[in-house]
Amino acid sequence: MYDFTSGTILQTFESALGGTKTLQMVLDNPAPNPTRDQTDTQTVQALDGKLGNRARIVRAVERSDALMSAWAFPSAYHIKVIVRDGTAFWLSSGNLNNSNQPVLATPPQTEDRDWHVIVEDEGLASLFLAYLSQDFETAAQHQLTSSSATSAAVDDAHAKLAAETNPSPRFPRVSRHPPECPRRSFPVSSSRSRLCSLPIACRQPNQGQYLTQILNLIHSAKTKLYVQLQYIEASSGTGDHQTLLVAIAQRVAAGVDVRLIESLEYGEKWAEKMKASGVDLTANIRLQPNVHNKGFVVDSKIAVVSSQNFSPAGIRQNRDAGLILESPDLAAYFEQIFLSDWETKAKPFAPSTAKPSPKPAKPSPKPARPSPKPAKPSRKRPCPRKPR
């Protein structure tokens, strides 16, 4: 899990994992979510206190985490997957926080658009369990011992640094709509619900796996291509960004009904960059507040639920997970939600016509800010990864 800061979900874990049930978890340590009830460190402390030795929780081998002696993921352990008993799993674009998984009875100020799927299939559950277990075993070898006070201080330093360098945007609350996402069950035994997995996008030896799968999916679109992403970030130096945009533009040129929804908070500047790079998709883009989704619907037959953003890290570096769902029933379900967002929540993209303001004079250099990272960064080294 990338982020686990919902108090309600924490209470659910504590009550559900009674008796002899066990928990194994790999958790990243991002800057605290603005809607948090507690930090990730406090979540770990609460679960350890409640479950005792039935809880096995480690930090992910992520480069910026001060509690790790090595790293495998240079940007983020961005996955959102829970495997239950090796027979079923939950996979989402959203984390275990209040904005990604809002409680409808007491919704937070900001509610994000995310897609989720629960799959009861031993084969796929075993696949994801194998990756999560390998991540756990790798991370367990590189944990730095730390007291609660030191851990809390590191979290606080990360939070302050993140708030100063990347303040969270504030937007007026969007009017609530009646829930349009009723729970539906699709047995995998049904001939209409064949599920094909898009395996976890990991680093070597499967680097670029997500890009290959998604490009094939985009190229396969004959009538419809609906995409809802938090953002589309330029990937300077890799060519991935241009490759994805050109593939989408080719579908537009072929007469396919192409619609892209991006987050209002991030989408405009990336749409402008698309146009500047020679791939003008602005006529096909709408902007929607608080989109955290990373989903696709193709030809009303295939849906993708995943945690991968269109970014250099999301495509090639993070630990992420996704599923290609080859099912007209499932595709129709997510397509209905997408079109509801397109018509009622998303607004057409209006290219900026304002001229850029002249750059202000550079201020005098400020003293370097103390880094919250360990005093001896030389201890951090890329940890070896077993080929899979």
CB 264 within 8 A of CB 229: no
The pLDDT tens digits for 243-281 are 888 899 999 999 999 999 999 988 777 777 777 777 888
Quick one: pLDDT at residue 158? 63
The tokens describing 60, both together, are 């992910």
pTM of this structure:
0.81
- From residue 42, how far is each of 133, 148, 197, 379 by CA, in Å? 23, 9, 34, 26
Cβ burial, residue 240 (10 Å; 0-12/13-18/19+): buried
The pLDDT tens digits for 137-152 are 999 999 987 655 566 6
What is the amino acid identity at position 145? T
Residue with tokens 């991030």: 266
Return d(Cα 237, Cα 252) in angstroms, integer: 26
Facing residues of 287 across strands? Answer: 262, 347
The tokens describing 1, both together, are 């899990």
CB 99 within 8 A of CB 33: yes
The pLDDT tens digits for 304-347 are 999 998 887 888 889 999 999 999 999 999 999 999 999 999 99
Cβ burial, residue 166 (10 Å; 0-12/13-18/19+): exposed
Return d(Cα 195, Cα 301) in angstroms, integer: 11
Spell out a b/e string for 341-371, using b for 16 or more CB atoms within 10 Å of the CB, else e.
Answer: bbeebbeebeeeeeeeeeeeeeeeeeeeeee
Q: Which of 13-27, 165-179, 226-240 has the lowest average pLDDT?
A: 165-179
The pLDDT tens digits for 175-194 are 334 344 445 554 443 333 44
Q: In whole numbers, what is the pLDDT of the chain averaged over residues?
A: 80
The count of other CB atoms within 10 Å of the CB of residue 21 is 10
Q: Which of 15-29, 127-141, 155-169, 189-203 has the lowest average pLDDT?
A: 189-203
Kindly state the DSSP code that residue 62 receives in the 8-state scheme: B
Return d(Cα 176, Cα 109) in angstroms, integer: 11
Quick one: pLDDT at residue 177? 40
Kindly state the DSSP code that residue 220 receives in the 8-state scheme: H
Confidence of residue 56 (pLDDT cuts 50, 70, 90): very high
Quick one: pLDDT at residue 205? 40
320-326 and 194-201 beta bridge pairing: antiparallel
Cβ burial, residue 4 (10 Å; 0-12/13-18/19+): buried
Residues contacting 187, CB < 8 A, separation 6+? 193
